[in-house]
Amino acid sequence: MSAVLEVENMVKVFRARGREVRAVDDVSFTVREGRTFGLVGESGSGKSTVARCALRLIEPTSGVSRVSGEDLGALGRRQLREKRRAFGMVFQNPVAALNPRMSIRDSISEPLRTHTRMSAKELDARVLELLDEVGLSRSHATRLPHQLSGGQCQRVGIARALSTRPKLLVLDEPTSALDVSVQAQVLNLLQQLRDEHQLSYLLISHDLDVVRYMSEDAGVMRRGQLVEVGPASEVLVAPREEYTKQLLASMPQPPGAVA
């Protein structure tokens, strides 16, 4: 099976007020085509930073990332911008991620307006198609973010991320800010979209149950390092590393339950 995203020896050192923070410390993993790689770890362990470095949203200190075999570090600014169509991002706080004054239609079509020369008519048609795909009604197109629930806003975020038909989605705590009752609905939608469109996911979560429910492959981060990586059925069920065992033991839910 081919790799959609390969991350090799990624390092990110932040320098703030004379202090150095090694947020990502030599991290390597692969997101396979049509599969979900779940990255789990406590808050502050470096999950978001490694994802941002992998997609070159921030410049890594060192390390390599390849999307469908292409080294992103070797691309110039314009090529990288063009390449951004191949991946989408979904963030933790769905309401804050949307421009409060922009209609849902405009939010969803913004990446298309940036990356393509689609006509207004084509954009409208694509927005309606995307609303259908994420389970929102067409009447949502003219609304503003504050008129939608958190779960609906996250569906808009997913529609926006899918607009350019990427192969890879990075989902950074996509359900952490949602009510428990809504989390499973959004996770199920993501599963369904992945299978329909042969997408690959890099799923970031501090919630082991979410990662276990969604992922074929998993990695556990601690203080910038990937302490364990492998099939989710091994890493998150019968881990070899002491830290992962502790993390599992600290979770109150039985295996397989979704928070």
Ligand X SMILES: Nc1ncnc2c1ncn2[C@@H]1O[C@H](COP(=O)(O)OP(=O)(O)O)[C@@H](O)[C@H]1O
Q: At what angle do helices 104-115 and 150-162 cross, to 10 degrees?
A: 20
Taking CB under 6 A as the rule, does residue 44 contact ligand X? yes
Taking CB under 6 A as the rule, does residue 103 contact ligand X? no
Q: Which does 194 bind (CB under 5 to 8 A by kind): Mg ion, ligand X, none?
A: none
Considering beta carbons, is residue 14 or 79 the nearer one to ligand X?
14
Taking CB under 6 A as the rule, does residue 92 contact ligand X? no
Rg of the chain on CA atoms, in Å:
18
Considering beta carbons, is residue 17 or 117 the nearer one to ligand X?
17
Considering beta carbons, is residue 15 or 121 the nearer one to ligand X?
15
Among 11, 21, 64, 95, binds ligand X (CB under 6 A): 21
Tell me the closest approach of the beta carbon of residue 16 to Mg ion, in angstroms.
17
Among 45, 92, 154, 205, binds ligand X (CB under 6 A): 45
Residue 242 CA to its chain's centroid (Å): 27
Considering beta carbons, is residue 48 or 215 the nearer one to Mg ion?
48
Number of residues that bind ligand X (CB under 6 A): 12
Burial (0-12, 13-18, 19+ Cβ within 10 Å), 33: middle
Q: Which does 16 bind (CB under 5 to 8 A by kind): Mg ion, ligand X, none?
A: ligand X
Q: Would you say 206 and 40 are in contact if contact means Cβ atoms under 8 Å apart?
A: yes
Q: Which two tokens stand for residue 181?
A: 């009752």
Binding site for Mg ion (CB under 5 A): 48
Please name the amino acid found at residue 197.
Answer: H
- Cα distances from 192 to residues 134, 135, 239, in angstroms, run 10, 11, 28
Strand order from edge to edge, sheet including 62-67: 19-32, 3-16, 62-67, 70-71
Q: Which two tokens stand for residue 140?
A: 């949502």
Q: Which does 45 bind (CB under 5 to 8 A by kind): ligand X, Mg ion, none?
A: ligand X
Q: Which does 14 bind (CB under 5 to 8 A by kind): Mg ion, ligand X, none?
A: ligand X
Listed residue (66, 50, 70, 57) closest to 10, CA to CA: 50
> How far apart are the C-alpha atoms of 225 and 223, rounded to whole Å?
6
Among 41, 94, 145, 174, binds ligand X (CB under 6 A): 41
Considering beta carbons, is residue 27 or 156 the nearer one to ligand X?
27
Considering beta carbons, is residue 30 or 49 the nearer one to ligand X?
49
Say which residue the tokens 């609303």 belong to: 131
Q: Which does 44 bind (CB under 5 to 8 A by kind): ligand X, Mg ion, none?
A: ligand X
Taking CB under 6 A as the rule, does residue 205 contact ligand X? no
Taking CB under 6 A as the rule, does residue 59 contact ligand X? no
Q: At what angle do helices 150-162 and 180-197 cross, to 10 degrees?
A: 20
Q: Which two tokens stand for residue 46?
A: 């470096």
Tell me the closest approach of the beta carbon of residue 48 to Mg ion, in angstroms.
3
User: Which residues are near ligand X by CB under 6 A?
Assistant: 14, 16, 21, 23, 41, 43-49
